[in-house]
Amino acid sequence: MKKRKSLLAFAFAALFIITGCSSGQGDSEAAESTSEDTTVNLGVIGADTDVWDDVKDRLADEGIDIEYVEFTEYSQPNTALENGDIDLNSFQHQDFLDNYNDERGSDLVSIGNTVNAPLGIYSEKIEDVEELENGAEVSIPDDVTNGGRALKLLQTADLIQLDEDAQNPTVSDITANPKDLEITELEASQTARAMEDVDASVINSGMAVDAGLSPNDDAIFLEPVDDTSRPYVNIIAARKEDEDNEVYQKVVDAYQSEETKEVIEETSDGADIPAWEEFGRK
């Protein structure tokens, strides 16, 4: 009898140990999973963090921790996203992403619209584009999509004309240049700094705000916002396999809110427009 009781006691003890170990392992895995699911590494450039700081604070209340990964050049965040170094990025418009995918054979996707940030022509030397003299130097971003967009803006300002068949025009697509403007292509982050050296510079809204410029007050010509703006709506990008990720969708929800709208208006001095109101969620 004593031997039987000892065997039973041993069996229960063994079962307890096995169950306890199993439970502890599951809790550990769940904790690791939760940590991975709720920490989101977000690639950003320029003034994006001014808006994202508010979004980040609100997401923290939901247990989602946004960690910024800062980049200085437009060529970097998509590569980092594709390589898995970051989870999302928020720095580009749809046309820029489409061009990246075409060039790299990638399938990064937009999971949410953020802002429509009009491109502007700025100058420290003149107050109106009509004041540009013959042979004046104008700097534009050197990447294909932003450079093409800048050239289209110069055309809208009646400074040049472009080949109508060029979707993303380059300098070689200029068909008329009445003032013989010298178009200088620079890395986008340098266009604001170049203002003191050129007669006018085409600058992205975020770069302009970072340089202390107000798009509405300081631009001598601002890109109109209409149906043609759709390709230039800024977005939150993710890898294709993550586009329905529940946590990432909560990030989009938090961004596309009245609270964010107010911050956008404050930080951009009213120049940037909440894109989800004009063009939908994505």
- CATH number of domain containing 192: 3.40.190.10
Strands 65-70, 233-238: pairing kind:
unpaired
Of residues 154 and 48, the one with the higher pLDDT is 154
> Mean pLDDT across the chain, nearest whole number?
88
Question: Which residue, 190, 206, 223, sits at the end of a domain?
Answer: 223
pLDDT at position 14 over 60: no
Q: Same structural domain for residues 44 and 177?
A: no
Q: Which of 161, 143, 114 is nearest to 202 (CA)?
A: 143
Number of domains in the chain: 2
Which pLDDT does position 92 carry in this prediction?
94
d(Cα 181, Cα 82) in Å, to the nearest integer? 38
State how far the Cα of 6 lies from the Cα of 280, in Å rounded to an integer: 70
Q: Which residue has the tokens 């004593």?
A: 2
In contact, 204 and 102? CB cutoff 8 Å? no
Tell whether the model's pLDDT for residue 57 goes beyond 90.
yes
Given a cut of 70, whether residue 13 has pLDDT beyond it is: no
Q: Which domain holds residue 195?
A: 120-223
Q: What is the pTM of this model?
A: 0.74
Is the pLDDT score of 201 beyond 70? yes
Decide if 28 is inside a domain: no
133 and 95 assigned to the same domain: no
Residues 216 and 164 in one domain: yes
- H or E stretch covering 138: strand 137-141
- At 180-194, the pLDDT tens digits run 999 999 999 899 999
User: Both 189 and 239 in a single domain?
Assistant: no
Residue with the two structure tokens 């508010």: 54
